[in-house]
Amino acid sequence: MMTDIATLQTELMAAIDSADTLDALDAVRISALGKQGSVSALLKTMGAMSPDERQTQGPIINGLRESVTAGLAAKKAALETAELNRRLASEYVDMTLPAPETPRGTVHPVSQVMDELAEIFADMGFAVAEGREIEDDWHNFTALNIPETHPARAMHDTFYFPDEMAREGSKMLLRTHTSPVQIRTMTSQEPPIRIIAPGRVYRSDSDATHTPMFHQIEGLVIDKGIHLGHLKWTLETFLKAYFEREDVVLRLRPSYFPFTEPSVEVDVGYSMVNGKRVIGGSEGWMEVLGSGMVHRKVIEACGLDPDIWQGFAFGTGVDRLAMLKYGMDDLRAFFDGDNRWLQHYGFDALDVPTLSGGVGA
């Protein structure tokens, strides 16, 4: 019996040594340790042995199994190492090839335009001011000289919170413009003041050119000796830089806003190119923003003397500016979250607006 086991061990170790592929080695493993394998057959005979035979033969048979198992593991490691060395010698990666294109997001046009506007106004000395989106009635309406009977205060135009959420007798609401940022700046900061106030605003309106939530940017200048000429120069400089055209022409039309006096609507000239309106020239006119000299009552409400301090303010929709510059025709698509639209109109994360490189580059 011992002679037969020694012979079997010699044969199996020779078969392991001669295996030159992983498949051939696996065949040797099955022939030895599989269910019908020679070593497995010897292990099964131990059940029929007497205690004395099991004490004598058991260690020999178990030693055979352990030797074969160790031999198989060593040979497998050697074959895998040889295969790896072969692949390393025959295969290589050209590190000079461009990396494969990976899916990536884009910067939303609204975010891009916000950055463009901040860059333009920063060059003119304006700071960016931000404020709360849940406002009280006084900062959103009363301080801006908007009377109780004004349509903007109506429930069908403004999102009000329940009466029990009122603070100090003032109703709470979702701000309808970023003008409350101007009020809070004037009541907390000594003039001169030169700020822009971008952000989300809310109105009860929804169609192709209006959404219940949209983005607005307003500007405010408070200083001594400010007049309408300063306002026109600021808007003209801003629009030329934003649309990246020197032939931008403005037309100021008398208008009415409760918080400015005089008030003007600002139209920008456009030309028809291949059937499309392009900003620049004066073939036609398009209204782009509202503006005016800050009303005396607004300055007084903020604790300033209107005989000493004057100023101008202006406001426009960021979404509308994006539509005009980048050729979008439906405001609702801005908020649909359609990845196809974002891939088409979005901007690369590295397209940071700069005046030297072009704000829309």
- Write the pLDDT tens digit of every residue in 92-120: 778 888 888 887 888 999 999 999 999 99
Element spanning 134, H or E: strand 134-136
Mean pLDDT of the 64-89 span: 88
Residue-level pLDDT at 95: 84
- Write the pLDDT tens digit of every residue in 128-140: 999 999 999 999 9
Pick 136 or 156 by higher pLDDT: 136
Please state which of the ranges 165-169, 214-218, 323-327 shows the lowest mean pLDDT: 165-169
With tokens 């035979």, the residue in question is: 53
Cα gap 202→176, rounded to integer Å: 5
For the chain, the average pLDDT equals 87
SS (H, E, C) 137-192: HHHHCHHHCCCCCCHHHCCCCCCECCHHHCECCECEEECCCCHHHHHHHHHHCCCC
Residue-level pLDDT at 230: 96
Cβ-contact 234, 121 below 8 angstroms: no
With tokens 């989300």, the residue in question is: 200
Residue-level pLDDT at 312: 97
Cα gap 335→137, rounded to integer Å: 27
The response to whether 261 counts as a known ligand-binding position is yes
